[in-house]
Amino acid sequence: MRLQSFDLATQDIAEADLDGLHALSISVGWPHRRSDWSLFRSLGRGLAAFDDIGRVFASAMWFDHGETVATIGMVITSPRVQTHGGGRFMMEHILRECGARSLMLNSTRAAHALYLSLGFEVQAVVCQMQGIVREGSGAPKLDASAVEVLAPDDLPRIVALDKAAFGADRSVVLTRLAPLSRIVGIRRNGHLEAYAMRRPFGRGTVIGPVVAHSEDDAILLSASLLGDLGGRFARLDTRQPEGRFRTFLQSSGLELYDTVKTMTRGAPLAAVRPGQPGIYALAAQPLG
């Protein structure tokens, strides 16, 4: 690939220099830690572009969820070479690798026109809620006794519930996230109705995924996971419109920081309907 005066070669992202990838995401203001890149690399495939002294100038990744669905993320071109076709080059490569799968991604403003031109359609707005967690955050009007800590042997039930909400099997992702995460859930009549995970990410802690049948359960689980984070930075990305859940997050110190748009190609986004399993917080923007 030739961009301006830069001759860039491409390589499998698995072989790319981790520090170079980290520097690339920092160059566009993203909060990812080196370990976040390691996690994404262990979960997906992709491409990196680098110059003749090994500096990484572009990245793009995709994540398989079962045979027919994939999510795309970590699409970055260094500000030094943006608007010269690099983003499109990387995306076209990724789309070829994804083949006939249905695709989902979360688009920044900068990437919106690119994805539209590649056949993606807007499905929803994602609100990135984040901030310093207020001491004593809780869900005072709800019965927190329903919340329990889930153990590794609950993973098959978590995966099944997640599939019902997400519309595809994220067992690879969830199996990898589980040992890194604190996991809580709500069981009623012996059935797991809701689960939520929390793990270190970026500037502090991320809560996600949150899968529940209602905003009230999403609040209960998030309150439980925020409970001991008072004074510390946390983030939760949700597609829920203004309402009880977002009001709760704001009252806990997680303000609306930015938005991205969920776009899909090949199939619509699974809707969140009260009474049915729905995604109340993303696992991570690249993971849907």
**Closest CB 158 distance from ligand COA, rounded Å:** 27
In the chain, where does DSSP find H-type helix?
18-27, 34-43, 86-98, 112-117, 155-166, 171-177, 215-226, 244-251
User: Given the complex with ligand COA, which of 59 and 181 has the nearer CB atom?
Assistant: 59
Closer residue to ligand COA, CB minimum distance, 186 or 263 = 263
Cα distance between residue 167 and residue 161, in whole Å: 10
Nearest to 83 by CA among 54, 49, 114: 114
Which CB sits closer to ligand COA, 27 or 175?
A: 27
Find out whether 235 and 206 touch, Cβ atoms under 8 Å.
Answer: yes
Smallest gap, in angstroms, from Cβ of residue 152 to ligand COA? 33
Report yes or no: 58 and 78 within 8 Å, Cβ to Cβ: yes
**CA–CA gap between residue 280 and residue 118 (Å, rounded):** 27
Which of helix, strand or coil describes residue 158? Answer: helix
Q: What's the min distance (Å) between Cβ of 204 and ligand COA?
A: 21
Q: Which is nearer to ligand COA, 59 or 224 (CB)?
A: 59
Nearer to ligand COA, 84 or 244 (CB): 84
Q: Which residue is nearest to ligand COA (CB)?
A: 87
The whole-angstrom separation of Cα 285 and Cα 62 is 12
CB nearer to ligand COA: pick between 106 and 137? 106
CB of 171: closest distance to ligand COA in angstroms? 25
Between CA 152 and CA 139 the distance in angstroms is: 26
The secondary structure of the chain in percent helix, strand, coil, rounded to multiples of 5, reads: 30, 35, 30
Closest contact distance (angstroms) between CB of 182 and ligand COA is 28
Residues 150/195, Cβ–Cβ less than 8 Å = yes
Task: Please report, as ranges, the residues that interact with ligand COA according to CB under 6 A.
Answer: 28, 75-77, 82-88, 107-108, 110-111, 113-114, 117
In angstroms, give the least distance from the CB of 86 to ligand COA: 4
